[in-house]
Every structure is written in structure tokens, then in C-alpha cells.
Amino acid sequence: MIDRIESGRGWRIMRWTATAGLLLIPAVAMRFTVEVRWSAADFAVMALPLAGAMGGYELLIRSGADGLYRAGAAITATGLFLLVWIAMAVGIVGDAGNAANLMFALVVATIVGGAIALRGSMTGMTHTLIAAAGVQLTLGIVALAGGMGREGAGWPDDVIALTGMFTACWLIAALAFRTAGRRA
């Protein structure tokens, strides 16, 4: 078993097992409380972004073995998962039903498109994530200036906090990729 973990295969199995384990949390909670009631569709909605984030991470780490590169990939994948999940589950702008949340697909498209077009290179990922931070910040400003989600109880604090959090996430990941590129 140690040989497989050292070669990377065991770590991959552990990552995917832990990811699948996240889906067990609501399944177990449903057995103990009436407050958690997920349908098959709820599990699918959670599974798709999880699988997408993990698949993206797996593809990115094939491009670089450096620890900082892997950290940048992990931050990016986690950030993408959280962005999609929050937008779908509770909403970044207003509630989950607010159509303005769909505009955050531009951030996802920027990152995924940049990673594919630039083949996950360290410099390419740095530029892609800086662009994603710019898109994220711009969308937050548009949401605030346009009063989008004003009907929400947390407006404008929720938009400001989540815009800041995701913008920082993309910039931290960009810094990790940039530093990894300078070491190479």
C-alpha cells in the first residue's frame, strides 16, 4: 500500500474516496434528523460540482508536480466548487433563485477555458486566475451597482463578502502558480 501511495495512485484513490464521502454526510444526517431532506436531484446537484472540481484538480496536477503548483490547483478546484455550490444552493446575489447568480458562470468559464487553452501551464494559470479575479470583482461591482439581490436579508454584505473571498481565492491561487513557475 505504501508503494501505491508514494507513486500517487493511492493518493488519488484517497482524494476521490474523501470526495465521495462528502456525499455521505447528508445521507447520514437524513437518518437522524428531519431537518435534512435531500432528494436524488439534490445529491446529483452536489455530486456534479464535486466531480468537476476533483476532475479539474486531477488534470491540473498532471501538468506539475511542484508542491506550490499542487496547492494552486487545490485552491482553484476548491474555489470553483464553492463558487458553483454557493451560487446554486443559497445564491451569491440574493437567493439561489435569483437569475443574477448565473453571471458567475463567467468566472467558471474564464478559469476552465484558460486552463484548457493554456494547458495548465504555470504562467498560463497565473494569468487565467488573475483574469478570473478581475471577472469576479467586476461581477460583484455590477451586482452592487445594479442593486441585484437587494431583496435578500444579507444584501449588500453577502455580495461584498463573497466577492472579496472569491477574488482573494483566485489571487492566492495565482500567486501559488506564479511562485511554482519561478522555482521551475
Q: Is the pLDDT of residue 2 over 50?
A: no
Among 76, 46, 79, 99, CA closest to 165: 79
Grid look-up 486566475 returns 129
Per-residue pLDDT, averaged over 123-127, amounts to: 97
Cell numbers representing residue 104 in the block: 458567475
Instruction: Give the separation between CA 104 and CA 95, rounded to whole angstroms.
Output: 14
Higher pLDDT, 118 or 12: 118
Which has more pLDDT, 131 or 85? 131
Per the rule left: phi > 0, alpha: psi between -120 and 50, beta: everything else, 10 is: alpha
**Whole-number Cα distances in Å, 168 to 93, 134, 165, 171, 174:** 18, 11, 5, 5, 10
The lowest-confidence range among 4-8, 124-128, 147-151 is: 4-8
Phi-psi region of 148 (alpha: psi -120 to 50; beta: other; left: phi over 0): beta
Q: Residue 87 is inside which H or E element, if any?
A: helix 67-89
What does the chain come to in residues? 184
Global pTM value: 0.85
Whether pLDDT at 15 is above 90: no
Average pLDDT over residues 132-142: 99
Question: Is 9's pLDDT higher than 80?
Answer: no
